Structure 1
């Protein structure tokens, strides 16, 4: 079974920033092949002990927030452990575990908040990037603000509707047709 150190080495060192946001079927398959059993263990609540220290929290958040987005694109399981990740991230930030992790890996403490469909979590994600990632957080801050803008406008992420079996409203469909998330980012860039 994978260890905290192995998960961090894989995601932070091997994959690194250039691969974190790439849509790559080969990488998705690699993560699924290597980490699906670990994610299932986390989903069953059997990795909670990882959340007792900064590096353990980082690995836990990678497994519960990042890996499922790669392993299960366009599938409801992509979001199945979001609430678990959000709770650990909020607690870790409160305990300031995030400050013990170097940038840019520190962002993984804030992404579960940014992935939440709660306005309060969105506001907190923006604050975390603004205040706690001063050296490498400019792009992250832009994306945190874009996520928050989408939640302010719709109360949810419309681009998740199909995967989650939700009805898309006409306003959401217009947003998706005009570019969806990319549109939200461009609006913020234009306003800056």
Structure 2
């Protein structure tokens, strides 16, 4: 088994990729992440103790468990299987002030596990932290959109199919009307 280090995860994410790569759908990039980091992702629960002891280690663990998981397992339920760990890491890191030790756009990765949560309290915390600790209007808009969907449905309907959940009529109407993009446009219009 070839485990990568926290520094290798951070170097890949912040030096080899650009911010434009972070959120785009790209099969070749997904394959590259899977080839390089899948074994490390599978061992993430065991890395928590050592990587979670520092701000940069926590950042790498969050990228691995909240971001790369979505790339490496795109279209499969396993894409969300380490969300619980990402939330635990992020809550611990925030309590210890690790998020404040990371500058610029990298700080957002401490708040995204809360934004990806289907728990309203996590959504509220994500919005609050982004408002207080970042100067990032676009990121705040996305956090508000995630919160609005959880407020409305208590879950993210666009995950239903891959997670084997039944989609309600209201959720189907939401998905058919543009889902996340429609919520973003509505919130932008309110500003």
| TM-score, normalised with respect to structure 1 | 0.96
Find out whether 1:4 has 2:22 as its counterpart. no
Instruction: State the 1:94 CA deviation.
Output: 1.4
Map of 2:66 onto structure 1: 65
Query: How many residues align structurally?
Result: 188
Preserved contact between residue 117 and residue 151 of structure 1 (Cα < 8 Å): yes
**Structure 2 unaligned blocks of 5 or more:** none
Map of 1:181 onto structure 2: 180
**Structure 1 unaligned blocks of 5 or more:** none
Map of 1:99 onto structure 2: 100
Preserved contact between residue 72 and residue 78 of structure 1 (Cα < 8 Å): yes
Map of 1:115 onto structure 2: 116
Instruction: State the 1:16 CA deviation.
Output: 2.4
Q: Deviations over 1:120-158 (max 9, x none)?
A: 000000011111112xx1111000000000000000000
What pairs with 1:33-182 in structure 2 (closer than 5 Å)?
33-42=35-44, 45-48=45-48, 49-134=50-135, 137-182=136-181
Question: How far apart in 2 are the matches of 1:191 and 1:174?
Answer: 22
What is the root-mean-square deviation in Å for CA atoms of aligned residues? 0.7
Instruction: State the 1:17 CA deviation.
Output: 0.7
Find out whether 1:28 has 2:30 as its counterpart. yes
Preserved contact between residue 74 and residue 162 of structure 1 (Cα < 8 Å): no
Question: How far apart in 1 are the matches of 2:181 and 2:148?
Answer: 12
